[in-house]
Structure 1
Amino acid sequence: MKGIRREVEALEYSQAELVRRIKNKDMVAYEHMINTYTKMIYYLAYNILSAAHPKEDIEECVADVFLDAWIKIAEFDETKANFRTWLLILTKYKALAYRRQNKKNNIVNIEDIEIKDDIDIEKQFFLRKDQEQVMKIINSFQKTDRELFVRRFLMGEKISDLARAFNLSRAAVDNRLLRGRKIIKESLQYE
């Protein structure tokens, strides 16, 4: 296994090469995929599951995403999405499945819940509603702006990296993000 890890660390794959090698069941490429995308996938799974799931469930979800990618790689179509976006979509659906499963298995006795402060519960409720509304607004953005927002604010990518990835100037990325934040702010004020 140490030999594979050293080999993985030394390699850089293009998207097409990585996909081709995973389709050929190349374990080095699989390890490279895990090393490259774990942080991104964990972050998205955490954002979807953190309120109701322990860390172990989030880690299991991430592992399941990579297993799904390995098994379903033949379904990946480069003409419809890039590999990174495809992994994020797999993550979203896997995390939502975990969340649904938790709701089915998580029957809580109301008497077991200790309410410390009504204001905290109310504040949490409105924060959750705001998050859902913000996600609806972001999903209404044009594809490039939506991806910029997700990658900057959900994935924590640097603006310089985004500018390079989208072949835009840093000022163009800043302007798109500023315009998006303004739309979100205005939409939340009117509701």
Structure 2
Amino acid sequence: MTSRELAEMMQRSPADCHKALVREYGRYVYAIVFNRLRGCGTKEDIEECVSDVFADLFMKCQFDLSSENDIKSLIGTIAQRKSIDRFRSLCAKSKHITDTDDDDMTELASDFSVDEHVDRTELRRVLLDKIDELGEPDSTILIQKFYYNKNSSEIASYLSMTAVAVRQRCSRAMDKLRAKLVEVGIER
């Protein structure tokens, strides 16, 4: 959802805009907040913080009608900041976290990050959608090559094409895919 779409929706119906935002970004915000508060907060604390994120988004943010930028990064930043503030207030109330030393905290750290996992999942979903938009046989060629690690000869026999044709189609499909990903703000 872009800033322009959000501003237009907000002018039509703030309630519908809020519902659409929660429907589209609710899991993303929940993952960020949960990752920060899972060690010190209750389920109610997490849900309250998620609600605060969306309330803060509506109360403090003005959306630019001319902007085509995706607001996901804005929402992610607000969620990070709100969850950090909530974490600090919860820790201040329950002195048990602040009394531990640094050695104990390293044992509590986890290598798994929920918000990074959600971001990777979202990126995969967008990537597969854009590959699907390429149509046949380009989408099949890219899927077979990059997801199933098949070479050009194997793909060619599967699609009844020559290996040279598969390589050429793959190259062109990659160029088209890059352009589609740039359109949605994904660059690498």
Distance in 1, Cα, partners of 2:74 & 2:129: 16
Alignment-derived partner of residue 28 in structure 2: 40
2:107 to 126, 149, 156: 126
Q: Please state how far the C-alpha of 1:53 moved relative to its aligned partner.
A: 0.5
Alignment-derived partner of residue 184 in structure 1: none
Normalization by structure 2: what TM-score? 0.54
* Amino-acid identity (%): 17
Aligned partner letter, 2:31 = Y
Aligned partner letter, 2:14 = D
Q: Please state how far the C-alpha of 1:26 moved relative to its aligned partner.
A: 2.0
Deviates more, 1:55-64 or 1:74-83: 74-83
Larger RCO (CA under 8 A, 6+ residues apart): 2
Give CA deviations for 1:74-131 in whole Å, capped at 9, x if unaligned.
Answer: 16798696201110110000000000111211134xxxxxxxxxxxx96x73351x64
Alignment-derived partner of residue 57 in structure 1: 45
Q: How many residues align?
A: 133
**Are residue 161 (structure 1) and residue 149 (structure 2) matched?**
no
CA contact (8 A) 1:76 1:86 kept: no
Partner of 1:82, secondary structure, is coil
RMSD of aligned Cα (Å) = 4.0
Alignment-derived partner of residue 90 in structure 1: 78
| Unpaired stretches in structure 2, ≥5 consecutive residues | 97-102, 132-141, 148-188
Q: Please state how far the C-alpha of 1:58 moved relative to its aligned partner.
A: 0.2
Normalization by structure 1: what TM-score? 0.53
Cα distance change, pair 100–163 in 1 and its aligned pair in 2 (3 A): same
Cα distance change, pair 88–77 in 1 and its aligned pair in 2 (3 A): farther
Q: Please state how far the C-alpha of 1:24 moved relative to its aligned partner.
A: 6.7
| Unpaired stretches in structure 1, ≥5 consecutive residues | 1-12, 109-120, 136-148, 173-191
Partner of 2:39, secondary structure, is coil
Structure with more helix by fraction: 1
Cα distance change, pair 44–106 in 1 and its aligned pair in 2 (3 A): same
Q: Please state how far the C-alpha of 1:71 moved relative to its aligned partner.
A: 0.6
Q: Please state how far the C-alpha of 1:154 moved relative to its aligned partner.
A: 3.8
Q: Which has the larger radius of gyration?
A: 2
Distance in 1, Cα, partners of 2:62 & 2:3: 14
Distance in 1, Cα, partners of 2:130 & 2:22: 23
